Structure 1
Amino acid sequence: MAETDWPVSMATGKPLRFIGQVDLDTPPFELGRMAYLFVEIYDAELDKYFEDNWKVILQEKTGTGLMSPQGPMASETEWLIEGYATQEPDWSEMEAQGNELFKKTHKRDWGKYRDFVAKYDVPKIGGTPSTPGEIYGLKEPLSQWRLMLQLQEREENGKASDLPFYMDYGDGGIGWSLLSNDHQAVHFSWTSG
């Protein structure tokens, strides 16, 4: 990617907001690539939401002479998703578990559903989307994709509690960046809460 390249919105012509980079050279991917995510879901000036106002750039990870990969930078602040590998249900099992627990909420049994959301509805790299049935716009079956990045947004007292900035999904919304199994295509989808 040339230094001057910066994705712009097809809807507004404005530069998209740089959200972050995902190192695809580490587990669970180990692909020798970097992914740069640009998203501008809501345009405050137009007071309008755009479902497909995103771009993910995949780039080979090359040596820079520095200790870490370099890419577009939105500010001097870094926000890292770090953790440990965990086993998660596959796509269909995750959807079935979530649906079953949600059905039980009509019987005023919210505890198990809240536990499910707290466990899987978190910022993560890799794994399984917490609510795969809400991912829209894929031409291929979900089985042809793997989760690259999941970023949810919850608001507490008017402030985003899980991200250093608003993603503007809407209260309780969530976004997913997916990588095709052949590693050639990327898809971003989001839903409001």
Structure 2
Amino acid sequence: MTSSSTPGRQDLAFVEAPEPITEPITKFGGQPVWLEDPTWPLSAETGRPMRFIGQIRLPGDEVRLGYLFMTEEEEDFVDGTYDPAGGENAFFAQPGELPDFYQVASIRRGPTFGPDHRAELTPHEHDEADEDDDDEGFLRSRLWGEPSWMQQEEWPDEPGTWRFVAQIDSEDEPFGMNLGDGGVAYAFLDEKTGQGRFLWQCG
């Protein structure tokens, strides 16, 4: 499912930044650095802005960012945030297209999961033990490479040139995101359209 231009797996750690990050780089928390007009996704159930998770600098010479959002309310539980097309999460690129299962608002700033964290990336040294579900770190957060599924495979089934972009493990992400019981989130991007899919699985 990967192409020759896909970077190898990079293990991901989150390091809180001393001040807001305003450059178009990979980061988590804070506010998005928009490359085009702001397109903040809205919850299909509540109509309120989703929470910003982070942005990922995509491969290539062109500066391009993928943006991650998910609905999470402080007081009201909203179901379906695990569903890639349920309208309660979002992943998309700028430049790129948006899917039709959520609406967006032209707001530049909105709710976020926490303060800015820079991405500390380490090239992953492959070990045969990585294929063992019981191996420590099997589900750890990463960019690129291949996903390690907590449950069954859930690659997007829509036609497209889908690339695996990110895996976020609730055990090491810094924000306490509601990903169920020890859940892991996965992000994919259609390289041609810039549409993305985001989902999570739990035990």
> TM-score band, normalised by the shorter chain?
0.5 to 0.7
User: TM-score, structure 2 length as denominator?
Assistant: 0.60
1:1-193 pair list within 5 angstroms: 1-3=36-38, 5-25=39-59, 32-40=63-71, 42-43=72-73, 45-50=75-80, 51=83, 52=86, 53-60=88-95, 74=112, 77-86=115-124, 98=131, 101=132, 113-115=134-136, 118=137, 120-131=138-149, 134-136=152-154, 138-140=156-158, 144-154=161-171, 162-182=172-192, 184-193=194-203
Cα deviation, 1:40-85, whole Å, max 9, x if unaligned, reads: 2x5454434213311123114xxxxxxxxxx857388221222233
- Please report the RMSD computed on the Cα atoms of aligned residues, expressed in angstroms: 3.5
CA distance in structure 2 between the partners assigned to 1:38 and 1:21 by the alignment: 9
In the TM superposition, what is the alpha-carbon distance from 1:152 to its structure 2 partner?
1.0
CA distance in structure 2 between the partners assigned to 1:31 and 1:167 by the alignment: 31
Bigger proportion of residues as helix: 1
CA distance in structure 1 between the partners assigned to 2:79 and 2:184 by the alignment: 14
Checking the alignment, whether the CA contact within 8 Å between 2:170 and 2:176 is kept in structure 1 is yes
- With CA pairs under 8 Å and 6+ residues apart, which has the higher RCO, 1 or 2? 2
CA distance in structure 1 between the partners assigned to 2:176 and 2:170 by the alignment: 7
CA distance in structure 2 between the partners assigned to 1:88 and 1:183 by the alignment: 31
In structure 2, stretches of 5+ residues that fail to align are 1-35, 96-107
User: What is the number of residues matched between the two proteins?
Assistant: 151
CA distance in structure 1 between the partners assigned to 2:161 and 2:74 by the alignment: 35
In the TM superposition, what is the alpha-carbon distance from 1:22 to its structure 2 partner?
0.3
The structure with more radius of gyration: 1
Cα deviation, 1:130-187, whole Å, max 9, x if unaligned, reads: 117634372248x953221111112xxxxxxx12212201221000011235463311
CA distance in structure 1 between the partners assigned to 2:113 and 2:167 by the alignment: 21
Identity %: 27
SS in 2 for 1:187: strand
Q: 1:87 to 1:131 in 2, by over 3 A?
A: same
Checking the alignment, whether the CA contact within 8 Å between 1:39 and 1:55 is kept in structure 2 is yes
Task: Supply the AA of the counterpart residue of 1:22.
Answer: I
Task: Supply the AA of the counterpart residue of 1:169.
Answer: L
In the TM superposition, what is the alpha-carbon distance from 1:37 to its structure 2 partner?
0.8
User: TM-score, structure 1 length as denominator?
Assistant: 0.62
In structure 1, stretches of 5+ residues that fail to align are 61-70, 103-112, 155-161
